[in-house]
Amino acid sequence: MRFAVDGWDPAYGSGMEAEGEILTESTATISVDIEMPAGKWRPVDPSPDCAPPGAVLFVDGVRRVEARVWIDDPVSADGEVPTEATPALCASYAAGVICCSGDRSHLVGAQMRRGLFSTAAHATDIVTRTGSYTAHRVAATTAVGAGPGSLMASLSQALQRRLGDIEMATAAEARSITHKHGADKHPDDDLLVIDGPLRGRQHLPRAIGYIKSHRTTYLPDELNAMVGRLEPGQRTPVFLMGTSWDRHTWYLRLPGEPGAPWSGVVRVECAADLPKTEVIRLAGQSQACLGKYASAAYKDSRSPQNLYPIGGLERELRHRLGDPKLLYRALRAASIRA
């Protein structure tokens, strides 16, 4: 397979790559009567009965496009040199799990992959000095006339799906490890915090999704106003939200400097099919433990929502992706050899 590396900085134009929720759904169906009737909504204080879990597992993943490449069309049977090429992405991505238990916080598992995302049917793995990029063929769903922009978006989405896959794999693996190494006296006394929406991972037991930023207003105005009035540690009652998928969710304010009405507010979600008591237990646990991990403003520009363990995990994972300059150089060297 012949390919050429695009000389442009791979970061160029990546602003359009969303961090998961690519499209903003505007037609969410909301059911607010899960925990208490809408008329009686009030901020929920942390319950003293709800003990924090024995171990909190934080799952996150990072991705980085190493280069945009152009894969030459295959040489035709009559030996004619092709003139057309298909764009593709070479990306590194990694996922890992941090286990915070007692006074110890450590990485329990991490996986790193490199992939070539392309719609070209003849795309094969790219082997470089610094690692090989596994070819992932992406179905060309977009119409031909949709332009390269949407093509890149679908490649990026494919990358995001792969990242989600390994996040789930590491999470499952980490759970089995933490149970095995016996650090936790009660094997089921753990909470899995997934950075980002829970979508596609609802089946994981004792798992919550953790959403840092708010793009859409889901609640009706009168209830929504209450979110801004939450005190640190308080949360809204649980409500059920249905967009393209259903989940239980609630807003929670993390401790931190007072600021804008929504500063320090995160949205936490859990699976829709859980019994109500379990949902409320998870919500209580999120109140009991997440505040401890909230970051300080001078240490993290996304404070307090970007939790310390997640910040540390991202740093570690980015580190594991390797030196981008070195990887880029190796890709260029490989493209010349190919």
Partner 1 sequence: MPAEDSESEDAVQTSAPPVGLVAGTEDSTPLQFCVALDEDSYLQLDDVVVTLRDVPDVGPVVTSGIVTQVRARHEGASYGSDVFLISDGVLPARTQEIAEVSTTRVEPEIYVPPRPGEGVRRATGTERAQALYFDQMDSRVPVGRGRDGDPIYVNMEFLDGTRGAHVSISGISGVATKTSFALFLLHSIFRSGALGPRAVNAKALLFSVKGEDLLFLDQPNVNLNDDLKAEYAALGLPAEPFASAGFWAPPIPDDTTGRPNVTGRTSGVEAFWWTLEEFCDKQLLPYVFADAEDERNQYTIVIHQVAARLRREAMSVGDYGAVKVDGAVLRTYPDLVDLIIDRLTDEDTRADWAGPVTGTGTVNAFVRRLRSSLRPLSSIIRADLPPGPNRAISTENQQLTVVDLHNLHERAQRFVTGVVLAAETARKEDAGPGGLLFTMIDELNKYAPREGNSPIKDVLLDIAERGRSLGIILIGAQQTASEVERRIVSNSAIRVVGRLDSAEAGRPEYGFLPQAQRARATIAKPGAMFVSQPQIPVPLAVEFPFPAWATRLSECAGPVQSTPRTPNGSAVNGSGRVSSVAPSADLLSRLPDDDDIPPF
Residues that bind partner 1 (CB under 8 A): 98, 100-107, 292-293, 299, 308-309, 311-313, 315-316
CB nearer partner 1, residue 229 or residue 315: 315
Residue from 142, 154, 77 nearest 118 by CA: 154
Query: Nearest distance from residue 65's CB to partner 1, in Å?
Result: 25
Query: Nearest distance from residue 298's CB to partner 1, in Å?
Result: 8
CB nearer partner 1, residue 40 or residue 104: 104
CB nearer partner 1, residue 203 or residue 315: 315
Query: Nearest distance from residue 295's CB to partner 1, in Å?
Result: 9
CB nearer partner 1, residue 67 or residue 100: 100
For 224, half-sphere exposure in the C-beta direction (CA atoms, 13 angstrom radius) is 8
By DSSP bridging, strand 29-31 and strand 104-118 are: unpaired
- List beta partners, residue 299: none
d(CA 303, CA 286): 17
CB nearer partner 1, residue 106 or residue 229: 106
Residue 121 CB neighbour total at 10 angstroms: 11
- Say if residues 269 and 242 touch (Cβ distance below 8 Å): no
Query: Nearest distance from residue 100's CB to partner 1, in Å?
Result: 5
CB nearer partner 1, residue 99 or residue 116: 99
Query: Nearest distance from residue 326's CB to partner 1, in Å?
Result: 13
Residue 30 phi, psi dihedral angles, 5° rounding:
-115, 135
Residue from 139, 59, 149, 160 nearest 100 by CA: 59
Decide: helix, strand or coil at residue 337: helix
Query: Nearest distance from residue 56's CB to partner 1, in Å?
Result: 9
